[in-house]
Amino acid sequence: MIVLLEVLAALGLIGVVLSYFFRGRREAERQEVIDRRVEAYMQTIRREGGNSELAQMGDLELRDLLLSGARNLRIQAERRWYILLGGGAAALLAAIAIGTEEGTRGFGIVLLIAAVVLYGLNEFLGRRAREPLVSRGIDVERLRVE
């Protein structure tokens, strides 16, 4: 059993190291997709002209606005992921602590409360990240890259 855990830990460490080395390539691909989406969205804004503020901007200004918006969305999504991961770990530790005193019922209640709180936090942070772009009339889904 111990040997199996050691093998899993070694494989996990190798996976983390490999993902670190291939990170630059993945980021370059993501940036290329973002650039294509920004160009396509700029053409749509120019063609449709729905938002007069965006349509009046020059190409460079609009490109900078859309690229910075896409970058901010990605940064906020990463930050939200880390916050939720930390909150989930804290919730699990709290559930284990309560579960040792109250049993499985207390464990389940703490996990349920934590799930509701983390869901609300996720929604709040997601809306807060999209708010500046939506207020300018930018379609956030057109800039999102998964």
pLDDT for the residue 5: 64
DSSP 8-state code for residue 51: S
Q: How sure is the predictor about 125, in pLDDT bands with cuts at 50, 70 and 90? A: very high
Residue 50 phi, psi (nearest 5): -65, -45
Q: How sure is the predictor about 121, in pLDDT bands with cuts at 50, 70 and 90? A: very high
> Whole-angstrom Cα distance, residue 82 to residue 109?
24
Radius of gyration of the chain (CA): 22
How far is residue 29 CA from its own chain's centroid? 17
In the structure encoding, which two tokens stand for residue 33, read together?
A: 């997709």
Q: Where are the domains of the chain?
A: 2-142
Note the pTM of the prediction, 2 decimals.
Answer: 0.70
